[in-house]
Amino acid sequence: MPFLPVSKSDMEKQGIEQLDFICVTGDAYVDHPSFGIAIISRMLESFGCTVGIIAQPVTDKDFTRLGTPKYSFMVTGGNIDSMVSNYTVAGKKRFDDAYSAGGKGGKRPDRAVTVYCRTLKRLFPDTEIAIGGLEASLRRFAHYDYWADKVMPSILVDSGADLLMYGMGEVTITEIYNRFKAGDKLKDMKDIRGTCYLTEPVNTPIGSVQCDSFEVVSENKKAYAKSCRKQYDEQDELYGRTIVQRHGDMMLVQNPPQRSLTQSEFDRAYELPYMKAYHPMYEKEGGVPSIEEVEFSIIHNRGCYGFCNFCSIALHQGRRIQTRSEQSVLDEARELTEKPNFKGYIHDIGGPTANFRAPSCQKQLEHGLCKGKKCLAPEPCKNLTVDHTEYLEMLRKIRALKKVKKVFIRSGIRYDYLLEDKNDAFMKELIEHHVSGQLKVAPEHASNRVLDYMGKPHIEAYERFEKKFYEMTKSIGKEQYLVPYLMSSHPGCTLNDAVDLAVFLKKHNIRPEQVQDFYPTPGTISTAMFYTGLDPYTLEPVYVPRKPEEKQLQRVLLQYFKKENKEMVIKALTIAKRRDLIGNGPNCLVTPPENEKYSNSDRKANGKQKSLHYGSRSNGGRNSKSTGKTSKGNKAGNQKGNKKKK
């Protein structure tokens, strides 16, 4: 099966006069199921449709090269939000982009979905447009935009698109195609779950949950916080209701979430005839780097009930776990072993959370996931079902395949969930067979007050897991390490909390090579906290570090050990009134400045050593990808301390 047409000559070779659908994407064209547009385009093809791809268009000629589609354009910004792709959290332009040819940045416009749609509307005024993917999905309501530093309207308003598909689109695109086949237009499709549309207020569906209007939430931060909670509380496919939000003289309508895929539907979506490669047209530029991470990896699940506040998964993929069948995963593994460049290593058998393969509990199957609550934070729910049996059996079968030397798990695990398993079999085999020297885990912080704002488990869970991990690693005679992801400047995190985290890192001999500042991406609960200074679930005030200098001070504290950070670390400790951590003692973070005499008596005079109470709970914090897998990036670079620990 060839790549889908990207030019008129491709259409001619395949005998196509007019395409049924044309997909426009902000990524380079990579025909692999880890790219959402690849799944949508191949699914449409499987229905008997003709589909073309326009990747990263710039000129009018780019947009018109495949002609006019019979049904509609399908537009996505790509696998990540175009603004996150184009800018760092400090607002600096990025010059690299793993989703573009040669890894070079600048090949997608800012706010790509809006730019693409406006251009298409100008060039093809009579052709309808449906939008989807992460950028559209997370901007479906009025949302705070970090880069513009203001609340922006629904992307449907700015883009002029006719329909928005939010969440994962396989079931939704099937229904849309069937409606097209029956003679409907996008403007007629007002009742499909998993979609949003604009309508006159007189047509507002009865019984809808109403958020305050765009105009109100733009000016009233408390109203914004309340609207954020309503939007999250209705994102369950069993009890989620229609949500409406007025934008000027139009009403935005979000239909209830689309149902989850059945396992057979999930299997089918990943068994379509993907090329599992980037298009050959990128060869001269060195290919597309993003394929390297996924070429020999397998996705076995979708969704995450971890529900961290800074992660977009709950609002996009949802909290309900969906899984492929063991047979489908095994078949894909066998297929990978037959690729000519396979070296014997499967890089990942994972998903948003690798070790989730069962519902969080039996109750949620009938009643949905609990509204406003977390399954794992601040501590695991008593109803939590913990079982790694099926996942472990699948891993055993894959690593037993001919030609397979090693199967790694790189997409990250929930160590708090793993700790709840009474059977240590999975953890033992994880450590023995599936760690590539380093295992990614995400404690994110060490202050339980901050962790409550993040929606993460308390730090004691990480400490228990760390102890168990190194004990098991030592017992099998291996040298392996934990790579903890950490975040600075999250809403609720004060400079003193950052000091506590630095002390924790020293105590545990962790030296992160990279530090990730909190990135306020559209639509998340943490972003609502950042903008409003309120917890959407309690409406209590939340401290938000905003000034660049304070964010820098928090960041350098996580890398207190670097010589170039010493001056800033001393400044941070002085402001935090923690000069007791400046000195030559074993518990100090930095030595005194060279021109300063600093005795132990001086240190005591500056303030008594404070003990860290990791077990204390937050008075105002409520809970919380991801993102992003979507905003993580810390790695434990110095392994010497860990060797001592072992």
Tokens 């079982």, residue located: 387
In sequence order, which residues have a C-beta less than 8 Å from that of residue 635 and are 6 or more positions away? 438, 483, 485, 512, 513, 514
Distance of alpha carbon 31 from alpha carbon 12, whole angstroms: 20
* Amino acid 597: pLDDT: 57
Distance of alpha carbon 2 from alpha carbon 359, whole angstroms: 38
Percent of the chain with pLDDT over 90: 90
Instruction: Please report which confidence band the pLDDT of residue 1 belongs to, taking 50, 70 and 90 as the band edges.
Output: low
Return the bridge partners of 253, or none: 197, 244
Q: Compute the average pLDDT of residues 599-610.
A: 43
Distance of alpha carbon 332 from alpha carbon 322, whole angstroms: 17
For the chain, what percentages of helix, strand and coil (3-state, to nearest 5) are there? 35, 15, 50
* Amino acid 266: pLDDT: 98
Q: Domains in the chain, please, with CATH? A: 8-254 (3.40.50.2300), 296-645 (3.80.30.20)
* Amino acid 641: pLDDT: 37
**Least confident range of 136-140, 293-297, 601-605, 615-619:** 615-619
Instruction: Please report which confidence band the pLDDT of residue 254 belongs to, taking 50, 70 and 90 as the band edges.
Output: very high
Instruction: Please report which confidence band the pLDDT of residue 466 belongs to, taking 50, 70 and 90 as the band edges.
Output: very high
**pLDDT exceeds cutoff 60 at 632:** no
* Amino acid 594: pLDDT: 78
Q: Compute the average pLDDT of residues 337-363.
A: 96
Tokens 């496919």, residue located: 237
pLDDT in tens, 171-215: 999 999 999 999 999 999 999 999 999 999 999 999 999 999 999
CA-to-CA separations, 91 to 85, 136, 147, 477, 618, in angstroms, rounded: 11, 21, 7, 46, 31
* Amino acid 20: pLDDT: 98
Distance of alpha carbon 108 from alpha carbon 96, whole angstroms: 11
pLDDT in tens, 585-598: 999 999 998 766 54
**pLDDT exceeds cutoff 90 at 77:** yes
**pLDDT exceeds cutoff 60 at 624:** no
Q: Compute the average pLDDT of residues 551-560.
A: 97
Distance of alpha carbon 250 from alpha carbon 230, whole angstroms: 20
Instruction: Please report which confidence band the pLDDT of residue 638 belongs to, taking 50, 70 and 90 as the band edges.
Output: very low
Q: Compute the average pLDDT of residues 110-130.
A: 98
**How many Cβ atoms from other residues are within 10 Å of residue 611's Cβ?**
7
**pLDDT exceeds cutoff 80 at 631:** no
Amino acid in position 457: P
Length of the chain (residues): 646
Report residue 432 as tokens.
């023995």
pLDDT in tens, 506-542: 999 999 988 899 999 999 999 999 999 999 999 999 9
pLDDT in tens, 564-589: 999 999 999 999 999 999 999 999 99
Report residue 253 as tokens.
């309508």
Distance of alpha carbon 418 from alpha carbon 423, whole angstroms: 9
Return the bridge partners of 54, or none: 24
Report residue 619 as tokens.
């008075």
* Amino acid 633: pLDDT: 35
Instruction: Please report which confidence band the pLDDT of residue 9 belongs to, taking 50, 70 and 90 as the band edges.
Output: very high
pLDDT in tens, 423-440: 999 999 999 999 989 998
In sequence order, which residues have a C-beta less than 8 Å from that of residue 183 and are 6 or more positions away? none
**How many Cβ atoms from other residues are within 10 Å of residue 245's Cβ?**
26
pLDDT in tens, 29-42: 999 999 999 999 99
**Least confident range of 106-110, 216-220, 440-444:** 440-444
Return the ∠ at Cα 548 (arms to 580 and 512), rounded to 5°.
60
Q: Which of 138, 169, 167 is nearest to 155 (CA)?
A: 138
**pLDDT exceeds cutoff 90 at 333:** yes
Q: Compute the average pLDDT of residues 471-495.
A: 96
Tokens 């943490």, residue located: 526
Per the prediction, the chain carries an average pLDDT of 92
Report residue 395 as tokens.
């891993």
* Amino acid 514: pLDDT: 81
Percent of the chain with pLDDT over 70: 92
